[in-house]
Amino acid sequence: MRIALDAMGTDSRPLSDIAGGVLAANEFGDTIVLVGDQQQIEAELKNHAVNSGKVEILHAPVDIAMDAKPTDVIKSAATSSIHVALDAVKKGEVDAFVTMGNTGAVHAIATLKTLRRIPGVKRPVLSALFPVNNHRMIFLDVGANTDVKPEWVTQFAVMGSIYAKLVLKYPKPRIALLSNGAEETKGNLLIREASELMRRSKMNFVGNVEPVQLMTSVADVIVMDGFVGNIVLKMFEATAHYVATLIRQEFRNDVLSMLGGALAKPAFNRIRQQVDTSEIGGAPLLGVNGVVIIGHGQNSAVGIKNAIQQARAAVRENVIGAIRNGIAQEAQ
Amino acid sequence: MRIALDAMGTDSRPLSDIAGGVLAANEFGDTIVLVGDQQQIEAELKNHAVNSGKVEILHAPVDIAMDAKPTDVIKSAATSSIHVALDAVKKGEVDAFVTMGNTGAVHAIATLKTLRRIPGVKRPVLSALFPVNNHRMIFLDVGANTDVKPEWVTQFAVMGSIYAKLVLKYPKPRIALLSNGAEETKGNLLIREASELMRRSKMNFVGNVEPVQLMTSVADVIVMDGFVGNIVLKMFEATAHYVATLIRQEFRNDVLSMLGGALAKPAFNRIRQQVDTSEIGGAPLLGVNGVVIIGHGQNSAVGIKNAIQQARAAVRENVIGAIRNGIAQEAQ
C-alpha cells in the first residue's frame, strides 16, 4: 500500500510528520510518500533509519498556513502539499492521504478542486473520533457544514455508520442525533426533521441523545450539524483542560495536597491519556472520492502513525466503495 | 420586600425549598411567601425557627412534575404552585418569584398565561450563570428558543447586558456571541447575521468567542440560540462530571494514588465548588413582566437562599423597568 503523508502538517512541521511517517513505514511495511519541500524533507530524513518499509518524497514547495482561509487556499497555486497529495490520490498514484494540516483547506481542496464528491453525496462531512470510557464514537459533522438540511444529516449518518462498521469494527453501529434532550419532541427544527427521517429509514437509529449520554456509550455514531459539532468538541476539550488546570492550581495550595498530587501522578497520567483525543491520531473526511484522514496539528509521531493505520484500514476495507453503494441505495 | 418561593421545586420538595426560604427570611429580613400545599408546608415549617424575617404560605394544591411537558402544563389547572405564584407576581402581591422547579413549565406559564412579555420583546429568554475562574458570565438563551432569528439574538444581548450591569455589577458588560471560531467569517448563518447586527449597534459587543475563550473571562454576556446554549451548558456539566469520575476511578487503582487522593481531599472539594453551578442558586427568565429566578432541582438550602438574593437585587435595581426602557430604545 502507498500512503501520502503531508510533511508540512503539524505545528512542528516537518519534524513530527516525518518521524510519524518513518514510524509507520517501519511498523506496517508500507510505502509512505512524504509530501512537501524536497530539500527540507531530505535533510530531516537523514536523522531517521528506515528499515522494513519504504519512504518516498513528492515535492510540493508551498506550505499552507494553519490559519489560512479556505477561500484563499482555493485560489492559491496548486503546488501546496495538500493539493499535490490530493492530486496523487485522484490519479491513483497513492491509496490515501493523511495530514495534520489545515482542516478547512483539506476540505475545500478535496471537495472543490481535486477528489470531488462521490455521486449522490450532498455534502462531504468532517468527523472526529471521540473516546469516552475506552469507547470510541464517531462524531460528524464537526465543522464542514455550519448550516445543513435534514437530508444531509441522514447522509452523514450513512457515511459515519459505514466507517464505524468497517474501520472501528462495530458489527451494527448504533446511530444517534445529538439534541438538547432525549425526547422526540426536543431539538431544533433541523433535529426534529432529521429525527423523523431517520426513524422512517432502515438505519439502526437509536434516537436522540443529550450530552450526558455521550459519557455512557449509548451510541457509536453521533450526528449533528457542523456548527454544533465543532462547538461540542471544543467544549469537551476546553472543559477537560479547565478542570485539569483547576486541579494543578489547587494542588499547589497546601503541603498535603502537593504531596497527594505527587503520589497520584501516575493516576493523573492515565487520566490525561483517556481524555486526550490526539492518541487516536485522526478522523476521516467522508463523502469525497478517496481516503482522507485529518488529525490535530499538535499530534506526536505516535498519533500520526495511528492516523496512518486508520487510513490503511479504510483502504483495505474499501470504505469508499461501501459509501458509493450506501449512498446509491439510500437514493432509491 | 415580599418574595414568592416555590415550595414544590426541588427534587427533595418541600424540604430543601422550605429550608432555603427560612434561611433567606432570617438572613435578609424579608417576607418569604412559600407557595404550595398548605398542610405539607405547615407540617414542615414546625421543624424550623423563623427569627428576623417572616414566612407566609400561599396555598397551591397542584404539583407540576419535573418531566411534565410545557404543552400539558399550559392546559392543566391554574392551581399549580408555579401558576399561583406567577399570578401573585402579576397582581403585585409579591415582588418576585423564585423556583427550583420545571423550567419549561415556568417559561410557558409566565410567557403565555400570566406575566406575559414586556412590550417589544420578541421572545423571553432563559439564562444561566456560568462561573469560570471566579468570573461569572451570564449565558443566554439556554433553552427557551431552539430556533431563533438574528433580531431576537440582539434582544437577548440587550436583556442579558442589563442584568449583568444591575445585578452582577459589571460597570460595562462585554457582550460576545458564541461561535465555532473567533473570526467574523466563522459561525452559522444565524451567528453571522447577528454578529453583523451587533457590530452596527451601539452595544458593547466584543465579537465572537469560541469555547476555549469561555475559560478565560473575555466577556460577561455570552449570547447564542437556545438549542446551542442548552447543549453547551450540558456539555460543560457532563464533561466536568466525567473527568471527576475518571479521577475517582483512577485513585482507586493503586495504593499510592489512594493515599494521594486522601491527602488531596480538601483540594478536590475546592475544585468541586468552583465547577458546581448550583452554588450560584439560579438565573433569571428575562423578557417577561416580572422578576423570575429559576434554579436547579438539586439545589441545597444555601443555593436557594442565593437564588432569592438574586431576586432581591433584581427587584431593588428595577431590572424590569430597565429592560422595558432598553427594549423601547432599541426599537427606535
| pTM: predicted TM-score of the whole model, two decimal places | 0.91
Q: Do B259 and A263 touch (CB under 8 A)?
A: yes
How many Å lie between the alpha carbon of A85 and the closest alpha carbon of chain B? 27
Specify the pLDDT at position B210. 94
Cα–Cα distance for residue pair A212/A210, rounded to 1 Å: 6
B228 touching A, CB under 8 A? Answer: yes
Percent of chain A past pLDDT 90, that is, above it, reads 72
A188 touching B, CB under 8 A? Answer: yes
Candidates B125, B134, B133; CA nearest to B106 is: B125
Specify the pLDDT at position A278. 60
Average pLDDT, chain B: 91
Specify the pLDDT at position B278. 60
**Backbone φ, ψ for residue B59 (5° rounding):** -75, 130
B188 touching A, CB under 8 A? Answer: yes
Q: How confident is the model at residue B72 (pLDDT cuts 50, 70, 90)?
A: confident
Candidates B103, B325, B40, B82; CA nearest to B234 is: B103
B274 touching A, CB under 8 A? Answer: yes
Query: For residue A189, what are the contacts with CB-CB under 8 A and spacing of at least 6?
Result: B146, B147
Q: Do B244 and A247 touch (CB under 8 A)?
A: no
CATH class of A1-121+287-309: alpha beta
Q: Do B254 and A236 touch (CB under 8 A)?
A: no
Query: What part of B 18-37 touches A (C-beta under 8 Å)?
Result: none
Stretch A64-79: mean pLDDT, rounded?
75
Task: Name the least confident of A106-115, A192-201, A252-261.
Answer: A252-261
A65 touching B, CB under 8 A? Answer: no
B107 neighbors B190 (Cβ within 8 angstroms): no
Cα–Cα distance for residue pair A151/A12, rounded to 1 Å: 40
How many Å lie between the alpha carbon of B170 and the closest alpha carbon of chain A? 24
Would you give the end-to-end CA distance of chain B in angstroms? 34
Cα–Cα distance for residue pair A32/A18, rounded to 1 Å: 10
| B175 pLDDT higher than 90 | yes
| A66 pLDDT higher than 80 | no
Percent of chain B past pLDDT 90, that is, above it, reads 72
Q: How confident is the model at residue A211 (pLDDT cuts 50, 70, 90)?
A: very high
B273 touching A, CB under 8 A? Answer: no
- Taking CA–CA distances from A179, the nearest residue in chain B reads B231
Specify the pLDDT at position B134. 82
Specify the pLDDT at position B1. 95
3-class secondary-structure state, position A41: helix
How many Å lie between the alpha carbon of A317 and the closest alpha carbon of chain B? 33
- Cα radius of gyration rounded to whole Å, chain B: 20
Specify the pLDDT at position A193. 96
Produce one character per residue of A2-32: b if its CB has 16 or more CB atoms within 10 Å, e if not. Answer: bbbbbbbbbeebbebbbbbbbbbbbebebbb
Look at strands B2-6 and B54-59 and give their pairing: unpaired
ipTM of this complex = 0.90
- What is the third-level CATH fold of B1-121+287-315? Isopropylmalate Dehydrogenase (3.40.718)
- CB-CB neighbors (< 8 A) of A104 in chain B: none
Q: How confident is the model at residue A246 (pLDDT cuts 50, 70, 90)?
A: confident
Candidates A313, A280, A306; CA nearest to A95 is: A313
A185 touching B, CB under 8 A? Answer: yes
- Taking CA–CA distances from A214, the nearest residue in chain B reads B238
DSSP string across B103-172: HHHHHHIIIIISS-BPTT-SS-EEEEEEEETTEEEEEE-SSS-SS--HHHHHHHHHHHHHHHHHTS--SS
Q: How many CB atoms lie within 10 A of CB A91?
A: 9
How many Å lie between the alpha carbon of B231 and the closest alpha carbon of chain A? 5
Query: What part of B 91-150 touches A (C-beta under 8 Å)?
Result: 132, 143, 146-147
A244 touching B, CB under 8 A? Answer: yes
Cα–Cα distance for residue pair B71/B92, rounded to 1 Å: 26
Position with higher pLDDT, B296 vs A45: A45
> Which cell numbers hold the place of B165?
450591569
Using alpha carbons, list the distances in angstroms from residue A40 to A15, A79, A208: 10, 16, 49
Percent of chain B past pLDDT 70, that is, above it, reads 93
3-class secondary-structure state, position A317: coil
DSSP A112: I
Specify the pLDDT at position B110. 96
Burial class (CB in 10 A: 0-12, 13-18, 19+), B168: middle
Stretch A5-13: mean pLDDT, rounded?
94
Q: So where are chain B's domains?
A: 1-121+287-315
Residue for cell digits 423578557?
Answer: B287
Position with higher pLDDT, B15 vs A76: B15
| Upper half-sphere CA count for residue B111 (Cβ side, 13 Å) | 20
| A276 pLDDT higher than 70 | no
Task: Name the least confident of A196-205, A243-252, B321-330.
Answer: A243-252
Average pLDDT, chain A: 91
Specify the pLDDT at position B149. 97
A189 touching B, CB under 8 A? Answer: yes
How many Å lie between the alpha carbon of A263 and the closest alpha carbon of chain B? 5
Specify the pLDDT at position A117. 97
Residue for cell digits 425526547?
Answer: A183
- CB-CB neighbors (< 8 A) of B178 in chain A: 231
Specify the pLDDT at position B255. 67
Specify the pLDDT at position B130. 87
Name the E strands within chain B: 2-6, 31-36, 54-59, 96-99, 125-132, 135-140, 175-178, 205-209, 221-223, 283-286, 291-294
Candidates B104, B100, B144; CA nearest to B122 is: B144
Stretch A62-91: mean pLDDT, rounded?
84
| A277 pLDDT higher than 80 | no
Would you give the end-to-end CA distance of chain A in angstroms? 34
Stretch B149-156: mean pLDDT, rounded?
97
- Taking CA–CA distances from B248, the nearest residue in chain A reads A267
| B127 pLDDT higher than 90 | yes
Cα–Cα distance for residue pair A233/A128, rounded to 1 Å: 8
Stretch A72-94: mean pLDDT, rounded?
89
**Residue B83 is which amino acid?**
H
Stretch A46-71: mean pLDDT, rounded?
86
Which of A216, A225, A239 would best serve as a mutation to test chain B binding (most B beta carbons within 10 A)? A239
Of B240, B243, B266, the CB nearest to A257: B266
Q: Do A263 and B257 touch (CB under 8 A)?
A: yes
Position with higher pLDDT, A81 vs B273: A81
Q: Do B243 and A275 touch (CB under 8 A)?
A: yes
How many Å lie between the alpha carbon of B137 and the closest alpha carbon of chain A? 15
Stretch B48-70: mean pLDDT, rounded?
86
B129 neighbors B300 (Cβ within 8 angstroms): no
- Taking CA–CA distances from B262, the nearest residue in chain A reads A260
Query: For A98-126, what is each residue's pLDDT tens digit?
Result: 999 989 899 999 999 999 999 999 999 99
Which of B263, B265, B296, B298 would best serve as a mutation to test chain A binding (most A beta carbons within 10 A)? B263
Look at strands B175-178 and B205-209 and give their pairing: parallel
Stretch B282-296: mean pLDDT, rounded?
95
- Taking CA–CA distances from B261, the nearest residue in chain A reads A260
Provide the sign of the torsion angle of the four alpha carbons B274, B277, B280, B286, taken in this order. Answer: positive
Task: Name the least confident of A217-231, B69-83, B90-104.
Answer: B69-83
Specify the pLDDT at position A72. 74
| B268 pLDDT higher than 90 | no
Cα–Cα distance for residue pair A40/B278, rounded to 1 Å: 55
Element (H, E) at A131: strand A125-132
Q: Do A211 and B143 touch (CB under 8 A)?
A: no
Q: How confident is the model at residue B155 (pLDDT cuts 50, 70, 90)?
A: very high
| A74 pLDDT higher than 80 | no
3-class secondary-structure state, position A110: helix
Query: For residue A49, what are the contacts with CB-CB under 8 A and spacing of at least 6?
Result: A22
> Which cell numbers hold the place of A2?
502507498
